[in-house]
Amino acid sequence: MAERVLITGMGMVSAIGNNVEENFRSLRAQRSGLGYAQYVDTIHAGKLPVGEVKCSSEELAEMAGLTDATGFTRTTLLGLVAMQEALFSAGIKDPRDTPAAFINASTVGGMCDTEKIYFDILDPEKEGTFLQLIDTLDCADCTQRIADRAGLTAYVTTISTACSSSANALMYGARLIRAGLVERAVCGGTEALTRFTINGFNSLKNIDKRHCMPFDKDRNGLNLGEGAAYLVLESESFAQRRKARSMAELSGWCNTNEAFHPTSPSPEGDGAFEAMRKALAMSGRTVADVQYINVHGTATLNNDVSEGRALERLFGDNVPSFSSTKPFTGHTLAAAGAIEAIYSVLSINRQMIWPNLNFTERMEELRISPETRLLEESPVKNVVSNSFGFGGNNASLVISKYGN
């Protein structure tokens, strides 16, 4: 029988907190982290809201315990801060004691720093002065630096599948555990704000100048964010042997690729529907067993229609409470799946359902509306967490109360 995959540690940093507990307190207080950029140098500062981590790169380096941060980009520093908390949370003093996989996700890699030297690259008089920084551009560079610093050496790899990246990292780690290849996998993602992503999404007319309004009739786009999150996954037998605290179970998962369009999902939510359906089937749960859905909910015109229709197709007239937490953090792209997986674990452990901020009026295309209240003392046992990326890359996770 395949091993159950347990979540034994979590660490994160986002626009609403520098650790898991700070994030929880902001969620409970319904306090958004959206504002205007202070640390990313963009012509859109003061115009387009973002979910920026409230620390300079120098402060992040100090939090990560680095005395020399040369070669460590903001993306890497965010990841290091989240990684340290995840390992401490899991009670792991020396990761080298047990061979563990490290599956990291990022779409920008070191672009947050390398884009600053773009014009230097084109200037022949400055040849060679930027080569060390160029090496940090690759997404795998931040992965390797985090792995080396943390002591994760058994198996290290990087996933970059747009907004579903870190959800896919969690799936990959869980599959390695189920296959008996490792007993532990640390999975998640890290992403810093960059001019490139801000300009790119703005050129697609996908960014709202207001705070984003997922599933609202008047929605007009997303707000970008940054952050990092990692979850420690362990086989049930290994977690029991070392008497680890089990926070939840990653009971089911599925990735589908509908390949409908390079940037838009299918109008009827075909890929999202299949991802959720198959993830639930794998978990052994039914639609009636789900109490909460942390939706992808980007507040873009096409995405919310597609995901909403997928929810109506799968759950019929009994769609559970659902909400998007992106009005808290912004859309953190590659880190979103792991950040929202932690919010799903918190929902189970704290018995709360998070509100969908900024909602006022239901969309004309749907029969359903998101939860707008903070629901406390809610009997949450199973959560579906969705992360959908460009190219129709759809990832759904089922996170369950351990022992449920």
User: Distances from the Cα of 183 to the Cαs of 52, 118, 159, 188, in angstroms?
Assistant: 35, 43, 20, 17
Tokens describing residue 378 = 């809610």
Q: pLDDT at residue 264 above 90?
A: no
CB 27 within 8 A of CB 346: yes
Residues 6+ apart with CB under 8 A from 149: 64, 80, 83
Q: Are 320 and 285 in contact (CB under 8 A)?
A: no
Instruction: Tell me what pLDDT residue 68 has.
Output: 92
The CA dihedral of 205, 209, 214, 220, to the nearest 10 degrees, is -40
| pLDDT of 40 over the 70 cut | yes
For 180, the 3-state DSSP assignment is coil
What domains appear along the chain, each with residue ranges and CATH number? 5-241 (3.40.47.10), 252-400 (3.40.47.10)
CB 173, CB 103: distance < 8 Å: yes
Query: Which range among 48-62, 105-119, 296-310 shows the weakest confidence by mean pLDDT?
Result: 105-119
Nearest to 176 by CA among 235, 92, 88: 235
Q: Taking residues 360-387, report their average pLDDT.
A: 97
Provide mean pLDDT across the span 79-108.
96
pLDDT tens for each residue of 189-238: 999 999 999 999 999 899 999 999 999 999 999 999 999 999 999 999 99
pLDDT higher than threshold 90 for residue 356: yes
Give the global pTM: 0.96
pLDDT at 123 > cutoff 80: no
| Helix H or strand E segment including 240 | helix 236-241
Which of the four pLDDT bands, split at 50, 70 and 90, describes residue 260? confident
Nearest Cα to Cα of residue 14 among 341, 281, 312 = 341
Which sign, positive or negative, has the C-alpha torsion 92, 96, 101, 105? positive
Average pLDDT, the chain: 94
What span, in angstroms and rounded, lies between the C-alpha atoms of 121 and 128? 9
**Cα 20 from Cα 14, distance rounded (Å):** 9
Distance CA 33, CA 12 (A): 14
Partners of 202 in beta bridges: none
Query: Which residue is listed with tokens 């937490």?
Result: 325
The strand pair at 184-191 and 382-389 is best described as: unpaired
Is the pLDDT at 136 greater than 80? The verdict is no
> Are 334 and 105 a contacting pair, CB within 8 Å?
yes
Q: For the residues of 178-238, what is the DSSP string, one character each?
A: HTTS-SEEEEEEEE---HHHHHHHHHTT-B-SS---TTBTT---B-BB-EEEEEEEEEHHH
